[in-house]
Amino acid sequence: MADRLLLCPPRFYRVAYVINPWMEGNVGRTDDAEAARQWQTLRTALADRAELEAVDPVPGLPDMPFTANAGFVLDDVFVPSRFRVPQRRPETRHFVEWFRQRGLRVIELPGQGSFEGEGDALLQPGERLVWGGYGVRTSLDAHRHLAELLGVDVVPLRLVDQRFYHLDTCFCPLPGGRVFYYPEAFDTESLERITARVTPERRFEVGAEDALRFACNAVVLDGAVISNFASGALTERLRTWGHDVIVCPLGQYILAGGAAKCLVLHLDHPGTPGRVRSVSDIRERTVEAQGDLLDTGLMNALLDRITEGGGDFEIEAFRPGLRHDQASLARVRVIAPSLRRLESILADMLEAGARVADEERDARLETVVQDGVAPAEFYSTTIFPTDVRVRGRWVRAARQRMDAVLVVEHHTAEPAVVCRLIRDLRCGELVVCGVDGVRVEGTHAPHANDTFGFMTADASSERRVELAVERIAWEMRRVRERSGRVVVVASPVVIHTGAGPHLARLIARGHVQALLAGNGLAAHDVEQALYGTSLGVDLKRGLNVEGGHRNHLVAINLVREYGGIAQAVAAGALRSGVMYECVRHGVPFALAGSIRDDGPLPDTIVDLIAAQAAYARLIEGADMILMLASMLHSIGVGNMTPAGVRLICVDISPAVVTKLADRGSIESTGIVTDVGLFLNLLAAALAG
Ligand code: NAD
């Protein structure tokens, strides 16, 4: 049986508007006579190999000759397009009419999702398999419905380059299970889907030379591949696969972003097997979000997470808060090309404050089968309070922290949930997998944190830093009044900037309950206490001291001689400074080792895991954490700290401050300023 194709003469064809990047700059620039000639040449090449039918063109619908976008035909069913772009929507009526008159069943896709016909739905010859393009014009939802309606397998392929806005611009299936395509037009997962289905000897990747000249936009008929262009390499490959290559120049249509395949719709697909119990991997779930969705930008952030994650969405309901104090509510259907993708998008959305809305389910638990290794689908935690549904009841996770997994324990009558690092997992433990039965408390919103600029050009910033410090001092006093805990994370910059004595004073006055640092802070603090220098610079006069570069080594050596900082203090060898005040006032400290360390001091914990554990112990129960000019230790501490702990990050680099503020916690304040100035102001504000 010969193929049958639907064409539409280009009588009214021109570039009349811009709906893809190819059309830009080409409005009104087509040459009618040349366009007609090119179309005739294509028609002749097609007529030799297929039966052709034509639909009448309609004035005012210049893109009608691109019949591939009319819809999709399989068996006796025509599924009309639901154009995403309004300019092409009026075409649908005329195509539907044509198919009705020829006795085909016209069945619209359920739902609202856009669908642009064969342009985004390419049947693999001889198989009941549709490659489904989405991400630019056609929605994922449409492919899910198409699979069910027609009993076909659909493999979704996400398009990521607007120039390749329909699948048929960058992908061409051939008989014998073969394909050729332009990989750059797809995301990584889509490429994996192609390679999972098509063995290497059956696929051919074209380069930009072919892709940009619409080589993939080819009509494949009876041993021939008809296209605007084919490079030498592509031609050779197609010949080895047994195809003639027929080149029909279609430059006039490329002005509008189309070529051979776009000008053709298959009216039947000879050799396609009968219906299968359709199984597309496309999955969906509904999520809800509530809060200041508009003013905080949360709504945008949520939708971005879906599209960036390779999914699609449909907003089912949106009720905006009409007053400042009223929350907005959104219900969003999230559609993803696979269960794995869906779960990762949902986990991202949960983190941003949404919750899965479908009927409540218990969390899915999987057993650990290797110590220190989590089951593949593990849910990874955030800093926000998290509840897990176990046997119909919501249980709050203990020891909330970021980048851990949730372990469900049944040791007691009531199940318990705890956040645990992957390395601490033991065989037999039950780990929460996927996002079912996980609820994250949405007390947070992006951009809700403050960042004060000082080192920026803004002249008023210095005053703003002063105001911020006054506010922090007030909070610290209140923490002390209720016997709360302030933890300081600090780097040697504190000493280099001459702020060591300010920090020492805060410790001596009982404003600091724990100190987290590295070898560097302690080494330079001891150096300063013994010699008045930091990295060899005299801190009083700001001058390099001759031979001073070895001072910190001498300091380290001295502490090593005594066996530790506390011992050096006890022996009277160390009599001032930050570390001295910690020892004198019984303020616990943890010094974490790093690859940069000299010495190290005997107190420095060089076992990374032990150092992390020591930090975690000292953070427990903290009300406030002051992070002073240490990118390494501040970010490390940020990851261990649950939401709800007040974080103050002071750094001269906005990037470090933003990184911490990006936790999205409303409790974090970033201050971009010199840490010496900050501590000077803070010690003064707390002096009274
Ligand atoms: P880091 O690079 O992680 O952090 C330093 C931060 O200070 C940066 O974010 C920078 O922007 C900021 N900064 C610089 N000048 C500033 C200023 N005037 N005001 C405010 N912020 C300022 O480095 P780190 O935390 O110092 O050190 C990383 C590791 O190296 C630590 O473990 C540390 O102990 C170790 N170290 C060891 C030695 C030593 O043993 N002699 C010396 C230095 C560092």
pLDDT of residue 666: 55
Residue 658 one-letter amino acid = T
**Mean pLDDT computed over 541-565:** 89
Q: Could you say which DSSP state residue 492 is in? A: T
CA separation (Å) from 228 to 162, 216, 224?
A: 20, 9, 13
pLDDT value for 644: 84
- Gap between the Cα atoms of 669 and 652, Å rounded: 14
User: Is there an atom of ligand 1 within 6 Å of 492 CB?
Assistant: yes
What percent of the chain is modeled with pLDDT above 70?
Answer: 95
Contact 219, 46 (CB under 8 A): yes
492 Cα nearest atom in ligand 1: 26
- Of the ranges 268-282, 397-411, 451-465, 583-597, the best mean pLDDT one: 583-597
Atom of ligand 1 at shortest distance to CA of 656? 9
Per-residue pLDDT averaged across 164-184, rounded? Answer: 97
Q: Is the Cβ atom of 520 under 6 angstroms away from ligand 1?
A: yes
Residue type present at position 168: D
Q: Please tell me the predicted confidence (pLDDT) of residue 111.
A: 87
Q: How far is the CA of 629 from the centre of ligand 1 (A)?
A: 6
Do residues 20 and 162 lie in contact, with contact meaning Cβ atoms separated by under 8 Å? yes
- Could you say which of 172, 262, 433, 582 is catalytic? 262
CA distance 250 to 40: 10
pLDDT (tens digit per residue) in 16-49: 999 999 999 999 999 999 999 999 999 999 999 9
Cβ 658 under 6 angstroms from ligand 1: no
Q: Which of 668, 100, 686 is nearest to 384 (CA)?
A: 668
Give the range among 251-255, 290-294, 370-374, 569-573 with minimum mean pLDDT: 290-294
Residue-wise pLDDT for 222-259, tens only, equals: 889 999 999 999 999 999 999 999 999 999 999 999 99
3-class secondary structure per residue, 588-629:
CEEEECCCCCCCCCCCEECCHHHHHHHHHHHHCCCCEEEEEC
Lowest mean pLDDT among 144-148, 174-178, 287-291, 581-585: 287-291
Q: Which of 61-75, 91-105, 272-286, 362-376 is the least confident region?
A: 272-286
d(CA 531, CA 523): 12
Whole-structure pTM over 0.75, yes or no?
no
Residues 106 and 110: their CA atoms lie apart, in Å, by 13
State which of 469, 632, 659, 672 you would mutate to test the pocket of ligand 1, scoring each by most atoms of that ligand within 8 A of its C-beta. Answer: 632
Beta bridge partners of 3: 50
Give the three-state DSSP class for 155: strand
The mean per-residue pLDDT over the stretch 480-507 comes to 96
Q: For residues 195-216, give the mean pLDDT.
A: 97
- How confident is the prediction for the chain on average, in pLDDT? 92
Listed residue (312, 323, 309) closest to 188, CA to CA: 309
Give residue-wise pLDDT tens across range 573-628. 999 999 999 999 999 999 999 999 999 999 999 999 999 999 999 999 999 999 99
If you measure from the C-alpha of residue 517 to the centroid of ligand 1, how many angstroms do you get, rounded to a whole number? 10
Is the CB of residue 606 below 6 angstroms from any atom belonging to ligand 1?
A: no
Catalytic residue list contains 433: no
Residue nearest to atom 43 of ligand 1 (CA): 520
Q: Name the closest-CA residue to atom 37, ligand 1.
A: 520
Ligand 1 pocket member 551 (CB < 6 A): no
Residue 662's pLDDT band, with cuts at 50, 70 and 90, is low
In ligand 1, the atom with minimum distance to the C-alpha of 517 is: 34
| Interatomic CA distance for residues 94 and 227, integer angstroms | 27
Q: Structure tokens of 73?
A: 């035909």
Angle between helices 654-661 and 631-640 (to 10 degrees): 0
Q: Encoding tokens for residue 569?
A: 């203090």
- CA dist 575 and 618 (Å) reads 25
Closest Cα partner for 269 from 78, 73, 119? 73
Q: Is 451's pLDDT higher than 80?
A: no
594 in contact with ligand 1, CB cutoff 6 A: yes
**CA 677 to ligand 1: nearest atom:** 19
Query: Nearest 5°: CA angle at 335, between 333 and 341?
Result: 130
Nearest to 552 by CA among 596, 521, 594, 589: 521
From 143, 166, 496, 633, the catalytic residue: 166
Atom of ligand 1 nearest to the CA of 552: 41
Model pLDDT, residue 292: 82
Centre a 10 Å sphere on the Cβ of residue 541 and count the other Cβ atoms it contains. Answer: 9
Tell me if 132 CB under 6 Å of ligand 1: no
Confidence at 324, pLDDT banded by 50, 70, 90? confident
